[in-house]
Structure 1
Amino acid sequence: MEHNIYLYILTAAAVSCLIRVLPLTLIRKKIKNPFLRSFLYYVPYVTLAVMTFPAIIAAPQIPLAGILALIVGVIAAWKGVNMIGIAALCCFVVFVCEAVVLHLNSLAR
């Protein structure tokens, strides 16, 4: 069976274009339904969370380090820390957690 890469690329481009063009062509009035407006407002945030959360758990060598970094990051965001500070803090938490576990493993040997 022959695979045509150009067909795959064309299909992906068409689907991507339809997702963006159809709402613009079909919905001409302002959306007044509060539920639908609320739903559409949160779609980008939910999409980002769904893409990011598995990486938070899978990226560190120790999944618990990722979970602890997530908790620290949420608390820091709640306290008003900026994004660069949150990213640095979360990286530091993962680094420290993995260093402690590595050190404890070396002591156990």
Structure 2
Amino acid sequence: MQLILLITALCAVTIIPRIIPAFIVDRLMLPEWCVTYLNYIPYAALGVLIFPGILNAVEHPIHGMLGGFFAVILALLRVPLFFIVLGSIVFVYIIML
């Protein structure tokens, strides 16, 4: 019984902060600078998730850094995402030979 009560309480504590903003945010009138700032959060979070993988994916972190730099160059050239990933993999494989 205590386990079910604990799971229910943990579910409520977790779901309340996730649901309430969905109903409140659309009613808020945020300043333009705040909206611009919030639009960059997904990119920052993605960078935080990807960067450790770049450093730990291969034996030497410099190879991962070079592969990441190569991916950035391809992205700036507006290469499709599939070819960015494939090109970075091939690039790191070649420099590791």
Q: TM exceeds 0.5?
A: yes
1:49 paired residue number: 47
* Structure 1 residue 45: Cα displacement: 1.4
How does the TM-score come out when normalised to structure 1? 0.71
Tell me which stretches of 4 or more aligned residues in structure 1 moved more than 4 Å. 6-10
- Give the whole-Å Cα distance in 1 for the aligned partners of 2:19 and 2:75: 35
Structure 1: give runs of 5+ residues left out of the alignment: 100-109
CA offset digits 1:50-98 (Å, max 9, x no partner): 1111111111122111100111111111111110110011101111122
CA offset digits 1:23-72 (Å, max 9, x no partner): 12333425331122112211111111111111111111221111001111
1:84 paired residue number: 82
Count of residues in correspondence between the two structures: 94
- CA shift in 2, pair 1:53/1:9, >3 Å: farther
> Aligned-pair RMSD on alpha carbons?
2.5
2:35 paired residue number: 37
* Structure 1 residue 22: Cα displacement: 2.2
- Give the whole-Å Cα distance in 2 for the aligned partners of 1:97 and 1:8: 50
- Give the whole-Å Cα distance in 2 for the aligned partners of 1:69 and 1:95: 9
- CA shift in 2, pair 1:72/1:25, >3 Å: same
AA at the equivalent of 1:44: P
